[in-house]
Structure 1
Amino acid sequence: MAESERGDLTSVKDGSDADFDIVCTPCWEDSIREEAVKYCPECQEYLCKTCTRHHGRQKITRSHKLLDRNAAKQASAVSMTTKCHYHPDRDIEMYCGTHDMVCCLKCIATEHRACSGVSGIEEMKTTSVQQQEVERLQNDTRNIQERLADTDKKTKKNIFHTIL
């Protein structure tokens, strides 16, 4: 099996030669390879047709708004909330020009109080060059987060199989 640009395993369904760009997250966790057709931003999972139907039937997930899997990539780059590296419970809201880094309000108050060029992330989105850089950083962060989540799932799966 090959890896896609996202780090997901590509799949071959029913022995055919069709490669999937993105596989269904719940099915993949059960060692079943199905092509994903939707994405749930709340669960952060890709879903095949069958899992999409089940997702809509469960009381806890019934109200989740599912996105087309291709639209999910575009939407996540725009609406993604990124957590602060030093304070994971806080969102990144600020940019420090002195250190060329993004951080949360707590970082600004404690570590970057004397820095010049401190501004809100929203203020940075004023020019297309800055907007592209913010989107690139958000996309890079999202890809790293997805790879870490995949690695964590694989580690847990390997530990489970080792115990058996």
Structure 2
Amino acid sequence: MSVSNLLSCEPCRYRGLTSSAVKYCKSCQEQLCKDCVDFHKSFKVTRDHLLVNTEDQNFLKLCLNVENLRICKEHLNKQTEFYCLTHNAFLCSLCLLKSEQHRNCISEIVEIECVGKSLIGSKFTDTARGEFRNMIVSARHIVNGMTEAKDTTSKSVEAIKSEADALRRKVFEVLDEQIQKIVKKAATVNKENNDTYAKTIENLEKVIKEAEDNEKISETILQSGTPADVFRCLISVLQQMGDFKIETDQLSKGNYKKEIVTMVKSDLMKQLETHEKPLIDFHVRSSKITFCPAFPNGGIKNTTYCITE
């Protein structure tokens, strides 16, 4: 089937008519002209078929390009019949006769009909087909590689989240455990201090009470006693003062004031507060996805043709 047939209305061609297609029916897989589109929409069986604009079909791009190359760019009423290998340009017969640009390219100008015949079923055509397929496969490889990389990256992010959550729980567990130990140890120190303080205070209170009672008695003797009793009382007071001092010194010996101050933070905790360094991080591993060149260098120019008249 020629390229022109691919761009013409197929129902009309079946009836021996020629008309340009404007729509493509994806259900029937046929090209339709404007009149056939109207008929297509009027019949019940084809009314709901999906019609798209002919220019919207990607698979017709090559066909349209071939049709555009059929007409000479310099002489729009002429079809291209020759190809200049030097300038990679399609030429019509007028270009061949009148163009100054291609006057010196005679040895590099080939007749496209003859070249086309020699290319049909040739090794070059097979190579072009294979390389074109390889180019598509290579592009698909890139798509698959990027899709896989995208999925892998997404899974990696989820894995990082999971690991981060597990690490957070572990950190909190360790921190809670250490805090419980600190609080328990501080409570033990506090109880020991309180017990020591309570016992010492109790003994000191007894000594103080005894001293206060003796103070009252001595005050009475010093005010109303005989001179001899006053003397004896003063000597007794001095002795009691000595005993009081010795006893209070013994009770208070080694009992230093102790306070539980604010927690002492480790370097790690200070690092957390200042954000100087991250505790954990991640790295990105990259690999290049390359597109393999398909068509052999030189293209059609370096191909040997067998042209027959």
Answer whether TM exceeds 0.5 for this pair: no
Indicate the TM-score class for this superposition, using the shorter chain for normalisation: 0.3 to 0.5
Greater strand content = 1
Tell me the TM-score normalised to structure 1 length.
Answer: 0.36
Q: Answer 1 or 2: which has greater helix percent.
A: 2
Of structures 1 and 2, the larger Rg is shown by 2
